[in-house]
Chain A
Amino acid sequence: MPPRDKTDVLQGTLALMVLKTLDAMGPLHGYGIARRIEQMSGDALQMNQGTLYPALVKLEQQGWIRAKWGVSENNRKAKFYALTPRGERQLAAEADRWGRVAAIVGRFLKPAGDPS
């Protein structure tokens, strides 16, 4: 099997970003999700947009998002992804966990010698 470790690490965070994007924006197609993530990162994150789709497939398999064909703003047939109720719960749980992990990591990375 081809090596995939790097993308796997990204997948975890990417999935969370996708869920948050759909939560904030409502149903969105793949291109829209990619644009939104890039915009939210202040265009600091130049993602390979192709890797978005495996993440979407996995989220769909998990039942956290649902896909439906629709028409884009530019009048193109496109697949729209929307959060399912289970996806919403998952987002809440993941966001909470992320927050805690971030806090812990943040504390670790505080300048040494600083008490508290």
Chain B
Amino acid sequence: MSRLASLWARLREQLTRGRADREFREELRAHVAELRDEHLRRGMTPADAHRAAMLAIGGFEQARELVNDRRGFLVLDHLWRDARHALRMLRKSPGFSAVAVVTLALGIGANAAIFSFIDAVMLRPLPYPEADRLIAIWEIERGGERGAVAPANLADYARVGAFEHVAGYSTPSLSLTGGGEPEGHIGEAVTWNYFTVLRVPPALGRAFTREEDSPAGRPVVIISDALWTRRFGADPAILGRAVDIDGVPHDVIGVMPPGFRGVSQFGSSVERHLWLPAAFPAELLANRGDHEIRAVARLRDGATVEGARAELTAISEGLAQAFPETNAKVLAQMQPLAGDVVRDVRRSLIVLMLTVGLILAIACVNVANLLIARGVGRRREIAVRYALGATRARVYTALLTESAVLALLAGAAGLCLALWIQGVLVRVAPASLPRLSEVTLDARAVAFTFGLSLAIAMIFGGLPAWQAGQARPVDAMASGGRIVAGSRVMRWRNGLMIGQLALSALLLVGAGLMIRSLVRLNSVDLGFDTAGVLTMRIGLPMAKYPTGDARLAFFEQVEARLTALPGVSGVGYANAFPLRGGWSSGFGIDGLPLPAEGVYEADFQAVSPGYFKTLGIPLIRGRHLTPADIKTSMAVAVVSEQFERQLLGGRNAVGTRFSRVGPDGPFITVVGVVRDVRRDGRTATVEPQVYLPAAQTGMYPVRLADLAVRSTGGNAHDLMPAIRAAIWSVDRDQPITNIRTLDEILAISSAERRFQTLLFAIFAGLALLLASIGTYGVVAYLVSQRTAEIGVRLALGASRGRIYRALVAPTALLVVAGTLAGVVAARWLAALLDTMLFEVPPGDPATYAAAAGTLLAVALVACVLAVRRAARIDPTTALRYE
């Protein structure tokens, strides 16, 4: 109690010590006056009386010192004094301070920005109550990739005792019509317990009931707050009102709270606004081989992930035995949802964090090196401190405080920088990065930044402090005023400089490989001309267009109207255009034995006669598809060159017949061969292509749904109002979605790679900058330390060129050594990047040479610039130096 009171009293004193000191001086003066009076009374002279009084109190200042030491906290006091001293010292050498603070700020800023990214994307819980208890479930075919869950298996997975609920969801494309322009949406079709699993009930209305989640259930829908506000004016009377979805009226029964996101939202740039009951049809629930949905579960209180996984595996294996036909190869797997939504980006984020970590390491090495250099210069000051009775602890504290002040200043600057970097990153990041909208620079990031700054101060300030603290009082006196770095200090600095250059080389090689990949990628020929081609999805609702003929009729009408538009040079339609998905199928070729795999495989597409012209795919031989190829005429197809090469051994394909049904036909005859395309983009391989006339595809399970328009120039999107009007003149309720030019799709598909490459390039540039600053700093300091020596040499007649060489040579050696070390390390680490590279081997010699060359050139320029100062030295001034 009294201890606490005393602590409090001292804390108060700490804050009011200025006044306390003034008061004490007054008190002491009164004391001295009383003593003096007494001595005067005893007959002393005024001067003697004063001296006797001072003697009695043991000296005025000494008494003050004793009392001040007793007041408040000595440690705080020393810290404050050290901090002020540090600030003064930093102000006295603005060059050093600026370089150190800017260097650290760059490193800290980059780290804080990337941390806030990783925090939002990977570390922070998903925006659901107790989100860490949510589990994602998927199924894999043994030896295959992860796939969707069969709704028929869902009820079995719900038997896992560790799960409270298991919900299924899929992401259907929906059209919202009536009361405004038709809108295309990607909604979520969810089981009734979906919102129970997420623990987010609708803000208005209610969630789905079990009855509604069945094929016999009444059509109902839950909408997002954003849609409610935008389209329905946030009218509370929305509940019970019907909206048309895919042409069917659905009663709105609920509105989700603002900001609610469906599970499928993470990693998708399309916002979810509509939730429908999944209402699995009985056939689907009877077929365990039909994998259609994704699943999310909530762990029961007290249950563990491992326990749940064991149960799930056991159930899955039980199903494999009970239903060998459909489930023999299927295994259910699970992992916490938060990790699941970032599984695709985890690796690149980790590489990113490593990269900025390296940047920070380089910055720290820079500053540590500068501090060491400074420490050498300050040996005398430190020796004097020791000589005056400072303890080792006090000297270390003072030196560490100096680096802490530096680091904190840099932390503050870094935070501003981070804010800026983050703004840029969010703007250029690919939309597919999950949870991008959650990126903020919050208290966590601030805490991270300052924690990092202090850690840096302790670790990288500690070494120089230890070096400098080695000074002995005798050093100061013995070396006659001029202090030269000892060989041990030099070794440390050389090592740090080599390390720094090596790290920079590492980043430069990484960036070089990424940039080369991107260049390679962009130079890949797709085989079709993307310029000016605007594509859009027109998902005709089955209810309104039940047959292939109905769909064909719709598209033929639209084509006729669009062709007439000014600014349009080509119109095509298909089930899907390149880069927009597709359909792979097996078949047999007439007159050829079936291959060992069972059937021949190719990409199939149903295309309109205008398809090839719209995409600029040239004909090699035979003929294109024409409007004369109709349902009743001979079944024909056009194939790609790769079809000939891969499947026919290079023979002319025209005239070849193939069948998708059986050895006896019906057959489709190849009438033309066109150039190869990379359907799935630049990273995709060239696959055999088969183009069937849209008019003849009634016999195949393919729905026409994609439309492309080639514009004659300018921005293709400018055509959109006219295109919309034309389509809506055919069907005014038809939503048009996914409107993108092919170039935009390409840009999006390579967005992640471009983003990574951009970041890598920026960071490598930063590393290069830091390394050159570091080299410059160290050499410049060296030169300034040797000014006197240089003066002597000059005075003795050494040529400037010679001094030049003497200063550059040792540093140049370090630069070369560092670069070589970095290149060797890069060759070894580049394997990490392997999956991020495209057609560039991790050991690409040209990249390594370019990186090493750049680093050598920049570092040597920095070195020469620093040394040039020495050449300007005037011998007479130099000799008077210090």
The residues of A with any CB-CB pair to B shorter than 8 Å are 1-2, 29-31, 34, 48-51, 53-54, 57-58, 60-63, 72, 74, 76-79, 86
Which residue of chain B has the shortest Cβ distance to A2 in the bound complex?
B389
Cβ A51 vs Cβ B28 within 8 A: no
**Can you name 9 A-B pairs with beta carbons within 8 Å?**
A29-B31, A30-B28, A50-B59, A53-B28, A60-B9, A61-B13, A76-B30, A78-B31, A79-B30
Cβ A48 vs Cβ B30 within 8 A: no
Cβ B6 vs Cβ A62 within 8 A: yes
In the complex, whether B69 has a CB less than 8 A from a CB of chain A is yes
**How distant is the Cα of A31 from the Cα of B394 in the complex, in angstroms?**
35
The one of A54, A62, A72, A78 in contact with B67, judged by C-beta atoms closer than 8 angstroms, is A54
Cβ B2 vs Cβ A49 within 8 A: no
The one of A48, A54, A61, A63 in contact with B57, judged by C-beta atoms closer than 8 angstroms, is A48
Question: Which B residues touch A78, using CB under 8 A?
Answer: 27, 30-31, 34
Cβ A61 vs Cβ B10 within 8 A: yes
In the complex, whether B66 has a CB less than 8 A from a CB of chain A is yes
Q: What range describes how many residues of B lie at the interface?
A: 20 to 34
In the complex, whether B813 has a CB less than 8 A from a CB of chain A is no
Cβ B33 vs Cβ A76 within 8 A: yes
The one of B5, B6, B57 in contact with A50, judged by C-beta atoms closer than 8 angstroms, is B57
Question: Which B residues touch A63, using CB under 8 A?
Answer: 2, 5-6, 9
**How distant is the Cα of A1 from the Cα of B63 in the complex, in angstroms?**
16
Q: Given the interface contacts A1-B74, A50-B57, does A74 sit within 8 Å of B37 by beta carbon?
A: yes
Question: Which B residues touch A58, using CB under 8 A?
Answer: 70
The one of B2, B9, B10, B58 in contact with A51, judged by C-beta atoms closer than 8 angstroms, is B58
In the complex, whether B62 has a CB less than 8 A from a CB of chain A is yes
In the complex, whether B731 has a CB less than 8 A from a CB of chain A is no
Q: Given the interface contacts A1-B391, A62-B2, A63-B2, does A53 sit within 8 Å of B24 by beta carbon?
A: yes
Cβ B58 vs Cβ A49 within 8 A: yes
Question: Which B residues touch A48, using CB under 8 A?
Answer: 56-58
- Min distance, Cβ B54 to any Cβ of chain A, angstroms: 9
Question: Which A residues touch B34, using CB under 8 A?
Answer: 31, 72, 74, 76, 78
A-B interface, 3 closest residue pairs, ranked by CB to CB distance from nearest: A50-B63, A50-B58, A50-B57
| Prevailing SS type, chain B contact patch | helix
Question: Which B residues touch A74, using CB under 8 A?
Answer: 33-34, 37
- Min distance, Cβ A86 to any Cβ of chain B, angstroms: 8
Cβ B58 vs Cβ A53 within 8 A: no
In the complex, whether B35 has a CB less than 8 A from a CB of chain A is yes
Interface string of B14-56 (1 = CB under 8 A from A): 0000000001101110110111010000000000000000001
Interface string of B387-400 (1 = CB under 8 A from A): 00101001000000
- Min distance, Cβ B585 to any Cβ of chain A, angstroms: 86
Question: Which B residues touch A62, using CB under 8 A?
Answer: 2, 5-6, 9
In the complex, whether B71 has a CB less than 8 A from a CB of chain A is yes
Question: Which A residues touch B9, using CB under 8 A?
Answer: 60-63
Cβ B31 vs Cβ A30 within 8 A: yes
Candidate in B34, B37, B63 with the most chain A CB atoms within 10 angstroms = B34
Question: Which A residues touch B70, using CB under 8 A?
Answer: 54, 57-58
- Min distance, Cβ B414 to any Cβ of chain A, angstroms: 35
**How distant is the Cα of A72 from the Cα of B26 in the complex, in angstroms?**
13
**How distant is the Cα of A76 from the Cα of B69 in the complex, in angstroms?**
27
Candidate in A53, A63, A77, A86 with the most chain B CB atoms within 10 angstroms = A53
Cβ B31 vs Cβ A31 within 8 A: yes
Cβ B31 vs Cβ A57 within 8 A: no
Question: Which B residues touch A54, using CB under 8 A?
Answer: 66-67, 69-70
Q: Given the interface contacts A1-B391, A2-B389, A74-B37, does A49 sit within 8 Å of B27 by beta carbon?
A: no
Question: Which B residues touch A49, using CB under 8 A?
Answer: 31, 35, 56-58
Cβ B26 vs Cβ A77 within 8 A: yes
Cβ B62 vs Cβ A50 within 8 A: yes
Candidate in B35, B66, B71 with the most chain A CB atoms within 10 angstroms = B66
| Interface positions of B from 565 to 612, Cβ below 8 Å from A | none
The one of B26, B30, B59, B66 in contact with A53, judged by C-beta atoms closer than 8 angstroms, is B66
Question: Which B residues touch A61, using CB under 8 A?
Answer: 6, 9-10, 13
- Min distance, Cβ B397 to any Cβ of chain A, angstroms: 11
Cβ B2 vs Cβ A53 within 8 A: no
The one of A1, A30, A51, A86 in contact with B27, judged by C-beta atoms closer than 8 angstroms, is A30
Candidate in A2, A30, A57, A72 with the most chain B CB atoms within 10 angstroms = A57
Candidate in A50, A76, A86 with the most chain B CB atoms within 10 angstroms = A50
- Min distance, Cβ B59 to any Cβ of chain A, angstroms: 7
Interface string of B54-94 (1 = CB under 8 A from A): 00111100110011011100100000000000000000000
**How distant is the Cα of A39 from the Cα of B216 in the complex, in angstroms?**
108
**How distant is the Cα of A78 from the Cα of B59 in the complex, in angstroms?**
19
Which residue of chain B has the shortest Cβ distance to A56 in the bound complex?
B67
**How distant is the Cα of A60 from the Cα of B74 in the complex, in angstroms?**
17
Instruction: Identify 8 new A-B residue pairs, CB closer than 8 A, beyond the known A54-B66, A57-B71.
Output: A31-B34, A49-B31, A50-B66, A54-B69, A72-B34, A76-B33, A77-B30, A79-B23
- Min distance, Cβ B246 to any Cβ of chain A, angstroms: 80
**How distant is the Cα of A69 from the Cα of B364 in the complex, in angstroms?**
55
**How distant is the Cα of A59 from the Cα of B196 in the complex, in angstroms?**
65
Candidate in A2, A31, A77, A79 with the most chain B CB atoms within 10 angstroms = A31
**How distant is the Cα of A1 from the Cα of B77 in the complex, in angstroms?**
12
**How distant is the Cα of A48 from the Cα of B69 in the complex, in angstroms?**
17
**How distant is the Cα of A48 from the Cα of B394 in the complex, in angstroms?**
28
Question: Which A residues touch B389, using CB under 8 A?
Answer: 2
The one of B5, B62, B67 in contact with A57, judged by C-beta atoms closer than 8 angstroms, is B67
- Min distance, Cβ A85 to any Cβ of chain B, angstroms: 13
Q: Given the interface contacts A50-B66, A61-B10, does A29 sit within 8 Å of B59 by beta carbon?
A: no
Which residue of chain A has the shortest Cβ distance to B20 in the bound complex?
A57
Question: Which B residues touch A1, using CB under 8 A?
Answer: 74, 391, 394
- Min distance, Cβ B317 to any Cβ of chain A, angstroms: 70
| Interface positions of B from 761 to 776, Cβ below 8 Å from A | none
**How distant is the Cα of A74 from the Cα of B389 in the complex, in angstroms?**
42
Q: Given the interface contacts A31-B31, A72-B34, does A53 sit within 8 Å of B67 by beta carbon?
A: yes
Q: Given the interface contacts A61-B10, A78-B30, does A53 sit within 8 Å of B5 by beta carbon?
A: no
Question: Which A residues touch B6, using CB under 8 A?
Answer: 61-63
**How distant is the Cα of A2 from the Cα of B6 in the complex, in angstroms?**
23
Cβ A31 vs Cβ B59 within 8 A: no
| Interface positions of B from 371 to 398, Cβ below 8 Å from A | 389, 391, 394
- Min distance, Cβ B879 to any Cβ of chain A, angstroms: 41
